[in-house]
DNA sequence: TAATTGCTGTGAAAAAGGTAACGCTGTGCA
DNA sequence: TGCACAGCGTTACCTTTTTCACAGCAATTA
């Protein structure tokens, strides 16, 4: 069994989203080129990505939407579901709590953490907010493997260390800082400044033509 | 002159952030391997990325921090500054308005748009919020080249079309949907669901070892 | 002065990622 | 029936991106 690249994993997640939309519109089957058009990529790309799954489409009818979704679910999701913790209940943290609320049945933010007395020990945007001091205990209790970091950049590394020490194996970092983590921890940065500056740069190039 | 890849542009933006931190800590010079350590990449990568700039480091002292920052500024920023519009002042939109507020002098969100009567015609998180009907007029008036989309997914394409029609050449899309845009528009998606699912997948793999 | 050191810039090699092409299969139609 | 077709899975190829390796250079040391 050969391992699947992070890019492919990302696209599988995207395909699932698009397939959910198609199913909602009462679609039954879909061809690779249709999925490709929806995903802004090539049909060959789609077919290649789907090779990671143990589901084969029909050359005649394409892929059965429900079956394909189920295959992606089996591949991406943990059967018992996975719990996520979010640290830093500021503007961005709260927005993300709302954003993910109910989005994926098998992957939900089950605990938020902050230091602010006005935020702790109550429900914020649907999620209970604990004090930072309880982080280790709750992460272990709830068997949390994934941490989302939405604290200011100068606090990000400390928070990451605490999460890792508590047993987390994946971090999604929204703070504009690069974190150090041991190799057994998967680290993904969402750097909005970087993204915006990229868009600004290329929009200038395109506009000049 | 050979064109610079999107990945390199992103890393240049990252280097600038890291260099700003170093300068704040009274650093004078920096070696490629130091910058690489801070950026979680290789020294060769750093040196190659910096080849896009017309600034050369000294083999003995490395790079002068202020000079390097200035070179990146010259390369990435529009000399007169660039204006950005944000559409969709929900939870995420407001968080992003706060997030970017004052972060980059040459790149600022100068207008927000929404349809909600409670949000329009007033300042929200430091930015004036206009009704959607004024989008075309304001974008042209303020010479806005970049649009940030933080509306629900079913409205995203319509908003994108309006922005493009108004003359925008770059879109930063936060909605979980893939947008269609002509080739003269640069399109970047920030897909938080995808990112979280990627982290969840790999955290599971790492934890199993 | 001559040898040594450590880092830069850059060509060459390697790895990763994406595309094109082909054999295969089941269907529709003459 | 037999032929053309359309799309899948897969391999081979090509492009992009990253890493390796080394010449060159200024300071330092002997």
Domains of chain B: 6-75 (1.10.10.10), 82-194 (3.40.50.720)
The pTM score is 0.97
What pLDDT digit, counting tens, does each position of A85-98 carry? 999 999 999 999 99
- CB-count exposure of residue A54 (10 Å: 0-12, 13-18, 19+): exposed
State whether the beta carbon of A192 lies below 7 angstroms from any atom of strand D: no
| B71-84: average pLDDT | 98
Question: What is the spatial distance, in angstroms and rounded to an integer, between the CA atom of B18 and the C1' atom of C26?
Answer: 58
- Cβ B62 to strand C below 7 Å: yes
pLDDT band at B95 (very low <50, low <70, confident <90, very high): very high
Summarize the confidence of residues A178-204 as an average pLDDT.
Answer: 98
Return the pLDDT at A168: 98
A28-41 confidence digits (pLDDT tens): 999 999 999 999 99
The answer, yes or no, to whether residue B29 has pLDDT greater than 90, is yes
Local confidence band at A192 (pLDDT 50, 70, 90 cut-offs): very high
Asked if B9 and A198 come within 8 Å (Cβ–Cβ), the reply is: yes
Write down the pLDDT at residue B2: 80
Is residue A102 over pLDDT 70? yes
- Whether residues B170 and A203 touch (CB distance < 8 A) is answered with yes
Over residues A125-147, the mean pLDDT reads: 98
Digit-coded pLDDT (tens) for B167-177? 999 999 999 99
Q: With 80 as the cut, is the pLDDT of residue B197 above it?
A: yes
Angle at B51 between CA B48 and CA B56, to 5 degrees: 115
Percent of chain B with pLDDT over 70: 99
- Residue-level pLDDT at B19: 98
Task: Confirm or reject contact between B146 and chain A (CB < 8 A).
Answer: yes
Closest approach of chain A CAs to the CA of B150, in angstroms?
A: 11
pLDDT grade for A1, boundaries at 50, 70 and 90: low
Q: Is the pLDDT of residue B52 over 70?
A: yes
What is the percent of chain A with per-residue pLDDT over 70, rounded to a whole number? 99
What's the pLDDT score for residue B208?
84
**Rounded to a whole number, what is the distance in angstroms from the first to the last CA of chain B?**
47
Nucleotide nearest to B58 (CA to C1'): C8
Question: Does the structure show a pLDDT above 80 at B1?
Answer: no
- Quick one: average pLDDT of A196-209? 94
Give Cα separations from A36 to A40, A43, A49 (angstroms): 6, 5, 11
CB proximity A14–strand C (7 Å threshold): no
Mean pLDDT of B23-29: 97
With distances taken from each CA to the C1' atom of nucleotide C16, the closest residue turns out to be A5
Asked if A186 and B206 come within 8 Å (Cβ–Cβ), the reply is yes
What does the pLDDT read at residue B88? 98
**Contact between A9 and B186 using a beta-carbon 8 Å cutoff:** no
**Mean pLDDT value across chain A:** 97
pLDDT at B182 > cutoff 70? yes
Residue B209, pLDDT > 80, answer no
Q: Where does B60-180 have alpha helices with state H?
A: 65-76, 91-100, 135-141, 153-166
Each residue's pLDDT tens digit, A141-154: 999 999 999 999 99
Computed on alpha carbons and rounded to an integer, the radius of gyration of chain A in Å comes to 20
Name the residues in A58-77 having a C-beta closer than 7 Å to nucleic acid strand D: 58-60, 62-63
In chain A, residues 9-28 whose CB comes closer than 8 Å to chain B? 9-10, 13-14, 17-18
Strand D proximal to B59 Cβ, under 7 A: yes
Q: Is A72 on the interface with B (CB under 8 A)?
A: no
Given CA atoms B21, B19, B149, A50 in this order, what sign does their dihedral have? negative
CB A170 within 8 A of CB A185: yes
pLDDT tens by residue, B131-146: 999 999 999 999 999 9
Asked if B17 and A189 count as a contact pair (C-beta separation under 8 A), the reply is no
Residues 69-128 of B with CB under 7 A from strand C: none
């Amino acid at each position: 069994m050969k391992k699947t690249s992070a890019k492919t994993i990302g696209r599988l997640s995207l395909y699932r989203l698009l397939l959910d939309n198609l199913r909602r519109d009462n679609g039954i089957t879909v061809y690779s080129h249709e999925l490709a058009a929806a995903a802004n990529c090539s049909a060959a790309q789609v077919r290649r990505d789907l090779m990671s799954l143990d589901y084969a489409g029909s050359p005649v009818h394409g892929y059965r939407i429900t079956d394909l979704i189920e295959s992606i679910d089996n591949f991406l999701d943990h059967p018992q579901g996975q719990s996520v913790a979010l640290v830093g209940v500021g503007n961005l943290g709260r927005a993300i709590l709302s954003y993910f609320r109910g989005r994926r049945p098998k992957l939900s933010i089950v605990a938020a953490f902050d230091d602010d007395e006005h935020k702790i020990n109550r429900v914020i945007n649907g999620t209970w907010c604990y004090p930072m001091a309880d982080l280790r205990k709750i992460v272990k209790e709830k068997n949390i493997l994934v941490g989302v970091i939405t604290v200011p950049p100068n606090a990000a590394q400390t928070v990451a260390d605490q999460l890792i020490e508590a047993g987390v194996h994946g971090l999604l970092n929204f703070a504009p800082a690069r974190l150090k983590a041991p190799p057994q921890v998967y680290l993904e940065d969402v750097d909005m400044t970087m993204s915006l500056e990229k868009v600004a740069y290329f929009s200038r190039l395109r506009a000049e033509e």
